[in-house]
């Protein structure tokens, strides 16, 4: 991949670029217009909830810092820009964005198998797919009880399993090049690399760009595609 060039001729220099995987450190509102259209946007936009919790003093992130830039609720205009950046789309957090994204013919459900507690039983994703039906990914992910990545430390407050992103990519009609404009710790990019796909990540906080780059430098993980 090369430096992105906007309509005004402005170039955006990658933070990381290797083996077909590119990371941009910046605001996706500014970076997206510089990029070509991709096959699949696979992302989990921020819901704005952690920022508010941090302000009330009930929760701090793992770095012990104040409310972070990454947890700003995206505007309807930005979500439309994100969806338009790819031929196909998978956007997690459909419950937060249904009023913006509209109807969905083939939603994806992640059954987190959390058991009897106060945690959510699962999450819902909007897709742009015009064929197919609802599909469920059953994969336990609750504290130390995990179907994969046992013993690993989450690097981001809303980090999802690589196995989930592998499953998502497998659901898409075409996914040679994948984009995650709210990259976080780089799980989407890690999954893309494991599958030998090209991918672009955009992240507003540099510390997460660094974490994602380190995850990408790790050896290729075994594929975990479960129905």
Which structural domains are found in the chain, ordered by start? 4-217 (3.40.50.150)
Q: What is the pTM of this model?
A: 0.86
Nearest to 141 by CA among 101, 187, 199, 184: 187
- Show the tokens assigned to 14: 């990658």
- Determine contact, residues 200/1, Cβ cutoff 8 Å: yes
Chain segment 5-59, per-residue pLDDT in tens: 544 445 689 999 999 999 999 999 999 999 999 999 999 999 887 655 444 443 4
Full pLDDT tens readout for the chain, 227 residues:
445 554 444 568 999 999 999 999 999 999 999 999 999 999 999 988 765 544 444 344 444 444 567 888 999 999 999 999 999 999 999 999 999 999 999 999 999 998 888 888 999 999 999 999 999 999 999 888 899 998 888 899 999 999 999 999 999 999 999 999 999 999 999 999 999 999 999 999 999 999 999 999 987 655 544 44
């Amino acid at each position: 991949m090369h430096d992105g060039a906007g309509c005004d001729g402005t170039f955006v220099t990658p933070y990381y670029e290797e083996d077909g995987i590119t990371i941009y450190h910046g605001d996706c509102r500014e970076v997206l217009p510089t990029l070509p259209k991709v096959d699949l946007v696979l992302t989990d936009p921020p819901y704005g909830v952690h920022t508010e919790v941090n302000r009330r003093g009930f929760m701090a992130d793992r770095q012990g810092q104040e409310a972070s830039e990454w947890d700003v609720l995206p505007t309807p205009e930005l979500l439309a820009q994100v969806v338009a950046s790819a031929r196909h789309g998978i956007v997690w957090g459909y419950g937060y964005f249904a009023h913006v994204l509209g109807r969905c013919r083939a939603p994806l459900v992640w059954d987190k198998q959390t058991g009897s507690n106060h945690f959510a039983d699962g999450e819902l994703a909007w897709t742009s797919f015009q064929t197919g039906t609802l599909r469920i990914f059953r994969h336990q992910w609750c504290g130390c009880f995990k179907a994969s990545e046992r013993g690993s430390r989450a690097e981001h407050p809303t980090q999802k399993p690589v196995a989930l992103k592998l499953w998502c990519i497998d659901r898409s009609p075409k996914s040679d090049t994948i984009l995650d404009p709210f990259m976080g710790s780089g799980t989407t990019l890690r999954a893309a690399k494991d599958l030998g796909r090209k991918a672009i990540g955009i992240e507003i906080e540099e510390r997460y760009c660094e974490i994602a780059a380190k995850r990408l430098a790790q050896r290729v993980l075994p594929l975990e595609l479960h129905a």
